Structure 1
Amino acid sequence: MKTITNPYPECDYTRKTRALSDAVELLQGKWKVMIIAVLGCRGRKRFSDLQQEITGIGAKMLTRELQTLEMNQLIKRTVCSTKPVTVRYEMTPYGQTLLKIVLELMDWGIAHRKHIMSPTLSVNSL
């Protein structure tokens, strides 16, 4: 049997798992990653446009998630002095650094769906 060695020394591994925990905590829930995907792929959006594009999210939840993402400097909120007042959201340059990861996750999700839906898949092949 082949022995798998940890490529990270213990102290580095501990630091990296803490960082992973921070990232997962920031992005937890089903909405934040969706918001990042929409703003990252589609560009600047108004609140109502985001709510329409993200099926199933309520206004209160969208507001809460946007506030968290803004507080963590991943998105930028701009209030336009129009009548009525318009609020637009967009990715910050820092938030754009997450877009590559979100796109990779989307690609993995497509491949996973194909894998699971494959008629040749059986429990024994896993």
Structure 2
Amino acid sequence: MNEKVIVRRAERKDGRLWLHVHDAPISLARVTPKRHMLVDSDALAFVYLLEADDCFLYVMVPKPWWPQLKAALDAEEPVWLRCGERTLELEQFHDELSYLLENIRDNANYGETLEQAVQDVFFEP
């Protein structure tokens, strides 16, 4: 069964963007970065995939943390996930995010609300 965790805090520190989540249903020691992202248009969230033996763990990054994503993207800072004392680099995060941003821009297929939210955070001066 697939599980999800929601980022509760994002901070840029020590040249990295740290995405903090509370208790993950799967130990970070058991997951591998899938190097792939999706979008949840209804939740206004970017979703990074982690793979375990028999399921996926969806790391949901909701809109309140998008300004930190943009700043880290602009600064080319690696993105790391933190759950308690465990940490994991979210490999290819910027490549995947950039790809999604370009696909969402001026594309009503993702829904007007998501399209406008992405425009406001990532493309407005």
TM value normalised by structure 2:
0.29
Q: If each structure's strand is expressed as a fraction of its own residues, which one has the higher value? A: 2
Task: Say which structure, 1 or 2, has more relative contact order (CA 8 Å, 6+ apart).
Answer: 2
Specify the structure having the higher radius of gyration (Cα).
Answer: 1
Q: If each structure's helix is expressed as a fraction of its own residues, which one has the higher value? A: 1
